[in-house]
Amino acid sequence: MEAIVDEVISSLTADGTELTMRQLGAVMKPVTAKVAGRFDGKAVSEIVRSRIAP
């Protein structure tokens, strides 16, 4: 799951965009689609938050 989160974040930041907590939804949507119910949403959210938190 962490690899999926990292992959999505990498693709979103490829153009040099800095992710903030405001973009949490933009990261969560593709991650949620890729994990497709295999992981708890809260756990996914915590990992995403830890990756994009300053």
By residue range, what is the domain housing residue 37? 2-52
What residue has token string 């974040």?
9
Tell me the average pLDDT across 7-35. 91
pLDDT tens profile 24-43: 999 999 999 998 879 898 99
Q: Tell me the pTM.
A: 0.83
As a dihedral over the C-alpha atoms of residue 28, residue 4, residue 42, residue 36, rounded to 10 degrees, the angle is 80
Q: What is the total count of domains within the chain?
A: 1
What is the crossing angle of helices 2-13 and 41-52, to 10°? 50
